[in-house]
Amino acid sequence: MSQLSIITTSLEALQIPSICLRQKAVDIPSNVDSKLLRGLVSEMVFALYAARGVGLAAPQVGVGWRLFLAMERDSEAGPSVFINPHFVDMADEVVEGREGCLSLPGYVSHKVPRSTAVKVEALNQFLEPVTVEASDFLARVIQHEYDHLDGIMYIDRLMNRDDLEIETTQSRAERAVEALFTRETAL
């Protein structure tokens, strides 16, 4: 798989039940054409921003390579690029938290278990080795996107399918109103 052909000029996140989301991605070859890689990463960044996401994996746009983007919420710095990543350390502490997915729009869960901190080795967009240590939100994003590389989705990590909620504008607004009038958050 040394050559990649992108047919579309505008990538969009695939949605369940696309088979690409359930397949294990392969490493990007060391001799990959830099223009091809730059084009793919660029298109993925545009797709990520268009969807207002914080992470996007290559399999989500139909490319079976081990590549993902991850960023903090409202980051001015933009996403980090992770090519052929692997975890070298993960915190023993696991907490449940909120996740949604561009490939499963309209749903969220507040009970997705993830390690609170991770250490990842990967290549960056220049194919240079990098080590990234992340905690809290960014650690969650990295684990979520890494799962996509192995054909795993956050719903697979739920203990109970009833923990999956429909996310609508009304449900988000109701939660925001509730938070506004909760004394702990209003102070």
Q: How far is CA 138 from CA 12, 56, 129, 168, in A?
A: 22, 13, 19, 24
Tell which residue, 140, 135, 78, has the closest CA to residue 108. Answer: 140
Angle at 29 between CA 102 and CA 141, to 5 degrees: 30
Paired tokens of 84: 């052929």
Q: What span, in angstroms and rounded, lies between the C-alpha atoms of 123 and 129?
A: 4
Q: Does residue 17 have a cis bond before it (omega within 30 degrees)?
A: yes
Please classify residue 31 by burial: count the beta carbons closer than 10 Å to its beta carbon, then call 0-12 exposed, 13-18 middle and 19+ buried: exposed
Indicate the residue type of 157: R
- DSSP summary character for residue 65: B
SS3 sequence of 147-172: HHHCCCCHHHHCCCHHHEEECCHHHH
Active centre residues (catalytic): 145
